[in-house]
Each structure stands twice: as C-alpha cells, then as structure tokens.
Amino acid sequence: MGEVNRIEVEDFLFYEAELLDDWRLKDWLALFTDDAHYYVPATDLPPDASPDTNLFYIADDRFRLGERVERLLKKSAHAEYPRSKTRHLVSNVRIRERKGDEMEVGAAFATYRSRNEVTDVYVGSIRYRIVANGSGLKIREKRCELDMNGLKPQGRISIIL
C-alpha cells in the first residue's frame, strides 16, 4: 500500500463514525488490530497518563473491547437498551507522525447521545495509532481525551465515543 494521505485517513475516520452511529458495532470492531487498545482517561489526568498507574473511564484491550461490543448488542444491556441515538462528528484530522506502516493521527470530536428525551454531548480530542497495510487501514489505538470537567450530568459513558 502506498503512502496514505490525510483525505484517506479522514474517510476512514468518517466511516468509523458512521458504523458507530448505525450501531454496526461488530463491523466497527473489525476496524481494530488484534493488539488494539481503546482508552478514555479520566478528565483530570494529563495527556500522557498511563492506564497502568491511573484510573481511566475505559481501558480496553482488543479482547475486552470485543466483550464490550457483545454486551452493548444484548437486550440485557440496560444502559443501552433501547439503544441510544448517537451522532459522531470528527474534524481537524491531522497526520502527526509516520513510523513505518503506522501513523499517529489527531482529530477533534463531538459525540451526541440522545436517549429518554435527553441529549448529552461529549467533546474532546482523539489520538489514533493507525496501521496501513495491504488490507487497508486498521486502528491499533484509540484514545479519547474529553474536554470536560467531568461526566456530569451524564455520570458515565455507556456508548462508544
């Protein structure tokens, strides 16, 4: 695969957002490498905080991410049944660094979650590590840094950002 440009990366991230909004979570999970991680650090942590020594809202490896998807798709997932309506907006996409077949990509996001006549908004930045290989693009790491003082009034994150 030749060198990937920003427009191709944007299209990939827009596709990821579409899968999440359409609640096609198994297809979304397929965008990740086998050694992938998905992180949402607590809002009071510095950008370089590690989940090994700090409390994160979410710190999933690929296996736990698969378990999260399975739970969200079940009717017994009370926090998301009936499921929320979401709208994931992605902007300001930049390829920050390239190392071999891996890119560090930054983006801004706003995710709207509507459920029970209430709409919550999650905003922040995302740092991706994306691998480009012969089969296309895959996410090795997704880290959502929330630009919020806390999770109030939501109190939790039951959707995928």
**pLDDT for residue 4 is more than 90:** yes
Whether residue 151 is contained in a domain is answered as no
CB 143, CB 127: distance < 8 Å? yes
Q: What is the mean pLDDT of residues 58-66?
A: 97
**pLDDT for residue 98 is more than 80:** yes
Q: Which residues pair with 152 in a beta bridge?
A: none
More confident site: 83 or 19: 19
More confident site: 38 or 3: 38
Q: Count up the domains in the chain and report the number.
A: 1
Whether residue 131 is contained in a domain is answered as yes
Residue-wise pLDDT tens digits, 114-152: 988 989 899 999 999 999 988 899 999 999 999 988 776
Mean predicted lDDT score pLDDT of the chain: 93
CATH number of the domain that residue 42 is part of = 3.10.450.50
Proportion of the chain above pLDDT 90, given as a percent:
75
Three-class DSSP category at 46 = coil
Residue range(s) defining the domain that contains residue 65: 6-146
Q: Which residue has the tokens 């191709």?
A: 8
Backbone angles phi, psi at 26, to 5 degrees: -70, -40
Q: Residue 128's CB: how many other CB atoms inside 10 A?
A: 23
The pLDDT-based confidence of 76 (bands split at 50, 70, 90) is confident
pLDDT of residue 23: 96
Whether residue 37 is contained in a domain is answered as yes
pLDDT of residue 116: 87
More confident site: 156 or 11: 11
pLDDT of residue 91: 98
Whether residue 154 is contained in a domain is answered as no
